[in-house]
């Protein structure tokens, strides 16, 4: 793995190795000795992903090259490729990119530094997926055999696409729940109602309504009662089942605001895990490229030992 672009590029062993590595960084302080630069190139808004990459980078001792597209030469018409080549030329050792295009990574395949996808249009959000997997793994010690419902605006969600792909690879039974118009028939996953999902699922993973990707603003006044996680539906969840959401949350729309921090909610734990997962991914790529030569990470636990 030279770049971290899509969970479809990872096999089960790759995923578990990264999860174990993330757990290592959660439990151990670590900082690189040499000066290395990472550029965070965000062309779409972000709070969690950008800031947790920044924290992860600083924890690793990496120098962060912050970039604001709204005050950059993008305004003069510079392309993504030329922006990326510029950072490569001035000495960036790695690029973290979020962009509205589904397939922006295709034009950056031949850079001489690793590239990490921090969100690609509606297509993929692989680091969000990894932090979601870590959160579920911490809860259950496995993904295999769990019933997991992804609920909400499936059609416009890169999180849904990444998670369906990874969860199925890891042996989870995945279900989708969506209001009319929010389904995506390209995903080969059964649709059930949220009322069915709360009765059978170990994880209810809610999604934000992606208003910015809609042609017409969706009407949401009845959404919570009809399609969202109300307190009444939460009461019918399995005793051990957890609630997740990649955030930002439309409180009172996808989820009753009182449930956002309830005992079942792992929403803020997901954000915490984002730092460790991103540390693991960045270190893995720097090792793969030989940018760091020492074996900084203790011997991996073997794949079979952790299953
Ligand atoms: N979950 C997520 O990607 O949040 P941000 O858009 O704030 O990065």
> Does residue 127 have its Cβ closer than 6 Å to ligand 1?
no
246 CB near ligand 1 (under 6 Å): yes
Would you say 206 and 115 are in contact if contact means Cβ atoms under 8 Å apart? no
Residue 48 Cβ < 6 Å to ligand 1: yes
Ligand 1 lined by 101 (C-beta under 6 Å): no
Beta strand extents in the chain (DSSP E only):
37-42, 63-66, 94-99, 115-120, 147-151, 173-177, 203-206, 242-244
Burial of 14 (0-12, 13-18, 19+ CB in 10 A): middle
Residue 212, ligand 1, Cβ within 6 A: no
The predicted-structure confidence for 135-174, as pLDDT tens digits, reads as follows 999 999 999 999 999 999 999 999 999 999 999 999 999 9
| Rounded-to-integer distance, Cα 275 and Cα 269, Å | 10
Ligand 1 centre distance from Cα of residue 304 (Å): 33
Distance from Cα 28 to the centre of ligand 1, integer Å:
25
**What's residue 215's pLDDT?**
75
Which of 126, 248, 254, 266 to probe ligand 1 with, by most ligand atoms within 8 A of CB?
A: 248
pLDDT category of residue 296 using cuts at 50, 70 and 90 = low
- Residue 103's contacts (CB-CB under 8 Å, 6 or more residues apart) are 120, 121, 123
Residue 203 contacts residue 149 (beta carbons within 8 Å)? yes
- pLDDT tens digits, 40-80: 999 999 999 999 999 999 999 999 998 999 999 999 999 99
Instruction: Give how far Cα 20 sits from Cα of 12, 54, 138, 148, Å.
Output: 12, 21, 10, 21
Three-state DSSP class for residue 185: coil
More confident residue, 302 or 157: 157
Residues 99/122, Cβ–Cβ less than 8 Å: no
- CA of residue 155 to ligand 1 center, whole Å: 17
Residue among 40, 44, 49, 274 to mutate when testing ligand 1 (max atoms within 8 A of CB): 49
Strand partners, 149: 175, 204
Structure tokens at 51: 């800031």
Q: Do residues 25 and 137 touch, judged by C-beta distance below 8 A? A: no
Domains of the chain, residue spans:
7-124+273-302, 126-269
Separation of alpha carbons 11 and 156, rounded Å: 25
Nearest to 148 by CA among 177, 113, 187, 111: 177
The yes-or-no answer to whether 7-124+273-302 and 126-269 have a common fold is yes
Q: Which atom of ligand 1 is nearest to the CA of 125?
A: 3
Residue 248: partners with Cβ closer than 8 Å, 6 or more residues away: 47, 48, 208
pLDDT of res. 304: 40
Ligand 1 contacts CB of residue 49 (under 6 A): yes
Say what the pTM is.
0.94
Q: pLDDT tens, 214-266? A: 877 778 889 999 999 999 999 999 999 999 999 999 999 999 999 999 999 99
Q: Which is the closest atom of ligand 1 to the Cα of 47?
A: 7
Give me the half-sphere count of Cα atoms (radius 13 Å) on the Cβ side of residue 138. Answer: 19
Whether ligand 1 lies within 6 angstroms of the CB of 46 is answered as yes
Query: 247 in ligand 1 pocket by Cβ < 6 Å?
Result: yes
Closest by CA to 262, choosing from 282, 277, 285, 244, is 244
Alpha-carbon span 260 to 270, nearest angstrom: 12
Long-range contacts (CB closer than 8 Å, 24 or more residues apart) made by 137-141:
137/19, 138/269, 138/273, 139/203, 139/242, 139/266, 140/202
* Mean pLDDT of the region 122-132: 97
227 φ, ψ to 5°?
A: -130, -5
Would you say the CB of residue 291 lies under 6 angstroms from ligand 1?
no
Question: Is 214's C-beta closer than 6 angstroms to any atom of ligand 1?
Answer: no
Q: What is the pLDDT of residue 100?
A: 95
CATH architecture of the domain covering 126-269: 3-Layer(aba) Sandwich (3.40)
Q: Domain 7-124+273-302 maps to which CATH number in 1.20.1260.10, 1.10.3370.10, 3.40.50.1370, 2.60.40.1110?
A: 3.40.50.1370
Q: Is the four-CA dihedral 280, 281, 287, 291 of positive or negative sign?
A: negative
Question: Residue 163 C-alpha to ligand 1 middle, in angstroms?
Answer: 15
Q: Do residues 82 and 108 make contact, with C-beta atoms less than 8 angstroms apart?
A: no
């Amino acid at each position: 793995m030279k770049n971290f672009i899509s969970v479809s590029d990872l096999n089960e062993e790759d995923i578990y190795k990264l999860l174990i590595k993330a757990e290592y960084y959660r439990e151990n302080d670590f900082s690189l000795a040499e000066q290395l630069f990472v550029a965070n190139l965000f062309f779409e808004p972000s709070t969690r992903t950008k800031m947790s990459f920044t924290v992860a980078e600083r924890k690793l001792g990496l120098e962060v090259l912050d970039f604001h597209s709204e005050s950059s030469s993008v305004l003069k018409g510079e392309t993504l490729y030329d922006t990326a080549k510029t950072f490569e030329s001035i000495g960036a050792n790695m690029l973290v990119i979020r962009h509205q295009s589904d397939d922006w990574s295709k034009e950056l395949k031949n850079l001489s530094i690793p590239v990490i996808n921090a969100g690609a249009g509606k297509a993929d959000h692989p680091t969000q997926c990894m932090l979601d997997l870590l959160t579920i793994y911490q809860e259950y010690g496995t993904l295999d055999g769990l019933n997991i419902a992804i609920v909400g605006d499936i059609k416009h969600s890169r999180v849904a696409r990444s998670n369906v792909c990874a969860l199925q690879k890891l042996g989870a039974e995945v279900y989708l729940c969506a209001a009319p118009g929010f389904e995506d028939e390209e995903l080969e996953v059964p649709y059930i109602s949220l009322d069915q999902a709360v009765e059978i699922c170990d994880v209810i993973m809610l999604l934000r309504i992606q208003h910015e990707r809609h042609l017409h603003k969706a009407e949401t006044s009845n959404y919570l009662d009809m399609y969202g996680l109300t307190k009444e539906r939460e009461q019918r969840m399995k005793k051990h089942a957890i609630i997740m959401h990649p955030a930002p949350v439309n409180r009172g729309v996808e989820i009753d605001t009182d449930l956002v921090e309830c005992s079942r909610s792992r929403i803020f734990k997901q954000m915490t895990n984002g730092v460790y997962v991103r540390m693991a991914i960045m270190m893995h790529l720097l090792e793969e490229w030989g940018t760091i030569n020492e074996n900084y990470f203790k011997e991996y636990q073997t794949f079979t030992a952790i299953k």
